[in-house]
Amino acid sequence: METTTSGPEETRGLGKCFGELALAGLVVLLNGDLGAGKTCFAQGVAMGLGVSAETPVTSPTYTLLNIHLGRLVLYHFDLYRLSQVDDLADLGYDEFAEGEGLTLVEWADRMTDALSASLSVSIERIDEDMRQFHFEAFDSRGGELLEKMSRHCPS
């Protein structure tokens, strides 16, 4: 599935729609260069899960993982500074990924081998405000979500 957004509000809107439709246990890989809009999309997902606006969603660049409570628990990873796959294991990545929450992984392509996911979201910067989104499903759960998105989310 492909779509574009014009500006951060539209990206948050897309993420919000994704978060509203998301099912427990999904692992979502978020890829794209610095400033592509991965965190912006994650902010929308948090809104869609009903995470309180009092706990702002920012890149967990130094902490590697931020946890937010919503309709589902949001495990928000950022692997930008991850040096070894062991660090991810130390955080308990496998438990989160196999649990009932929603796992979002920024810079997942740094560690693809270690991650099994239902879908990926790749964001490409077209110009200052335009972003191209490419959604790809890896299993039936991911496929079902993309199918629902294509019917319910603005494009």
Ligand X SMILES: Nc1ncnc2c1ncn2[C@@H]1O[C@H](COP(=O)(O)OP(=O)(O)O)[C@@H](O)[C@H]1O
120-139 positions binding ligand X, by CB under 6 A: 129, 131
Contact between 64 and 81 (Cβ < 8 Å): yes
Alpha-carbon distance of 99 to 131, in angstroms, equals 31
User: Is 64 among the residues that bind ligand X (CB under 6 A)?
Assistant: no
Least distance CB 87 / ligand X (angstroms): 19
12: helix, strand or coil:
helix
Interface pick for Mg ion out of 3, 4, 55, 59 (rule CB under 5 A): 59
16: helix, strand or coil:
helix
User: Is 55 among the residues that bind Mg ion (CB under 5 A)?
Assistant: no
User: Is 63 among the residues that bind Mg ion (CB under 5 A)?
Assistant: no
Contact between 4 and 131 (Cβ < 8 Å): yes
15-44 positions binding Mg ion, by CB under 5 A: 38-39
Stretch that binds Mg ion, among 46-54, 58-66, 67-75, 141-149 (CB under 5 A): 58-66
Alpha-carbon distance of 126 to 119, in angstroms, equals 22
Query: Which alpha helices (DSSP H) does 22-154 contain, by range?
Result: 38-48, 85-90, 93-97, 140-152
- Quick one: what does residue 3 bind among ligand X, Mg ion, none, with the CB cut-off 5 to 8 Å set by partner type? none
User: Is 13 among the residues that bind ligand X (CB under 6 A)?
Assistant: no
Stretch that binds ligand X, among 38-46, 66-74, 108-116, 146-154 (CB under 6 A): 38-46
Alpha-carbon distance of 23 to 84, in angstroms, equals 29
Under the rule (CB under 6 A), what is the footprint of ligand X?
5-8, 10-11, 32, 34-40, 59, 106, 129, 131
Under the rule (CB under 5 A), what is the footprint of Mg ion?
38-39, 59
